[in-house]
Amino acid sequence: MSWKPLGSVLPDTLIEARVELHWATQLVSAVGTSLLPPQPDFSHTNCGWLGELGVLAGRAVGEDALRAALVFQGLELVVLDDTEERATLSLAGRTLEEGRVWLANELGVPSDELRLPEHEMPSHPVGDGGVFSEARADQRTELAAWFADASRLLNELVVDEPASSPVRCWPHHFDTASLIVLDPDAGPEEARSVGVGFSPGDQSYEQPYFYVNPWPYPDADALPPLEEGVRWHTTGWTGAVLTADQVISVPPEQQQAHASRALNSAIAASRAVLDE
């Protein structure tokens, strides 16, 4: 899939659409959360961007390998049989509970067996029983482009990393990430690692951003210089950050190369500081 030009909708105007999509993604995650064996790393709950379909899809379950997916642009909940669409529900004008009951019925499971993942979520009327909105289709389309490009870029960044985890979207923070483990033979608490990911926005930055996190967090006074446009974030967590406004500061045909160069430099800097 080719890079989708970003910036037709300004990054700071995506907040409301992003939070609503975050809530809708809880329905996608509910399938793996409820119907797959629990995993220590909660990977049974995560999702992935399917570039060929342009949807965020959850884990497959059952003999038919059915999975839920979310179409950002139309705010549609979909049940997929492999890559074939089996059923679709527009969430606009419907509640989260209505979406959950519909999804359980389409999967052929009792509705009380399909539960949403349990974690803290950003405040939104949908979380209190309100209905999903028909508005902000342009913002959702822009966010779909960000997710598609981020998935493509992150997969390219870690393709040659043998100890990297699959690029997946996590329903708690709504971020998409891979973890590059530098000490694969060490225990999880001792292993050094570099997290490479994308957030559509959160409490740290309201606009979308890419991040590269060295672990353990290095001393803030020992952080190396970064490629122009990338900066170190040190409040609450430590990582190199490339914000959306930096990504779209170059012409659309240069965005992919610009982001790739910046993130590769951040990965190299993170490796270097962890090797000291």
Segment 165-190 shows an average pLDDT of 94
Residue 251: predicted pLDDT = 97
- Using the predicted structure, report yes or no on whether residue 276 has a pLDDT greater than 90: no
Cis peptide before 224 (omega within 30 of 0): no
- Residue with more model confidence, 186 or 128: 128
* Distance, CA of 104 to CA of 227 (rounded, Å): 48
DSSP string covering 31-88: HHHHHS---TT-GGG-BEEETTTTEEE---BTTTTEEEEEETTTTEEEEEETTEEEEE
Segment 214-234 shows an average pLDDT of 93
Q: How confident is the model at residue 237 (pLDDT cuts 50, 70, 90)?
A: very high
Q: What is the pTM of this model?
A: 0.97
- Using the predicted structure, report yes or no on whether residue 143 has a pLDDT greater than 90: yes
Q: How confident is the model at residue 222 (pLDDT cuts 50, 70, 90)?
A: confident
Segment 187-198, tens digit of pLDDT: 877 899 999 999
- Residue indicated by tokens 């979520």: 121
Residue 33: predicted pLDDT = 98
φ/ψ (deg, to 5) at 43: -65, -20
Segment 238-249, tens digit of pLDDT: 999 999 999 999
Segment 33-54 shows an average pLDDT of 97
Segment 57-102, tens digit of pLDDT: 999 999 999 999 999 999 999 999 988 999 999 999 999 999 999 9
Segment 100-114, tens digit of pLDDT: 999 999 999 999 999
Contacts of 221 (CB under 8 A, 6+ apart): none
Q: Tokens representing 188?
A: 């999880």
Residue 82: predicted pLDDT = 85
Alpha-helical (H) ranges within 164-243 are: none
